[in-house]
Amino acid sequence: MPTAPPSLTFNVSILNMLEHVLPHALKIPAIERLKGKKIILASNSPRRKEILRTFGLAPEIVPSTFAEDLLISDFSEPHEYPVATATHKAVQVYEKLVEENPEEAPDLVIGADTIVLTHPQPVTSDTSYSLLPSHNQELLEKPSSKEDNLRMLLDMNGNVCEVVTGLVVVYPVLSAPGYMIKSIDERSLVYFADSPKHIVEAYVESGEGIDRAGGFAIQGLGGILIRKIEGDYNNVVGFPAASFFKLLDMLVEEDEDFLSI
């Protein structure tokens, strides 16, 4: 059987590498516009990768090297903090890839950062929650140790936390600095069951929560600690898929340069 010339095989392989839209993706304008485009996820999170694949996107993974050393105290609103971190991640990766190969600049870089805040302000119809006493919100990032993990979870036990993901997309435009940044923040409420201390301790000993913002994984063993959520479940896992595709749809409708350069 004759084989394709090397040049043809090479070109086909390039096309395959660039096709980040999977066959099962929904046939909606935003996803159709992504076909044949170079899509980058500026995160090494397996959970974000898995969520995107569920909805038919398989971006190239290029983790950001941004130090993530911003101070939440520098922001007037705590919800601005993950958006700023996600912006730095996405822009750093975009600029790095353009510098390395200007002729193969990415068409879309996706950045995300998720934080957990204790004692969110009452924004829910749950009257039992609305009657809870007011507290200052505390940022809960990844626990530094099992002891820190236990402290976090005992503080949230029987209480409510707010999961906030800053989501950013960066794409090329003709005007300076050569790219556009669009961002949103997605918020979900997580209601913790009033669990016996030995259950919380057993979860901490499992080690599952040690590398998770807030010290728990709702999609894993950590689900045993959760009574209910309000908002996007995927946001609690780490990537607000519904709002992401809504943002892309809006950009397709409102920005004629989006993914067209």
The number of CA neighbours under 13 Å toward the Cβ of 141 is: 11
| Separation CA 34–CA 19 (nearest Å) | 9
Q: Apex CA 236: angle with CA 117 and CA 169, to 5°?
A: 95
Q: Which amino acid is at 259?
A: L
Helices (H), 101-193: 127-130, 146-156
Length of the chain: 261
Taking Cα atoms as reference points, which of 260, 243, 257 lies closest to residue 34? 260
> Any catalytic annotation for residue 126?
no
For residue 235, give the nearest of 251, 214, 210 by alpha carbon: 214
C-alpha 123/C-alpha 215 separation (Å) is 23
Q: Which of 113, 126, 148, 249 is catalytic?
A: 113
Whole-angstrom distance, CA of residue 1 vs CA of residue 86: 50
Question: Which residues are known to be catalytic?
Answer: 113
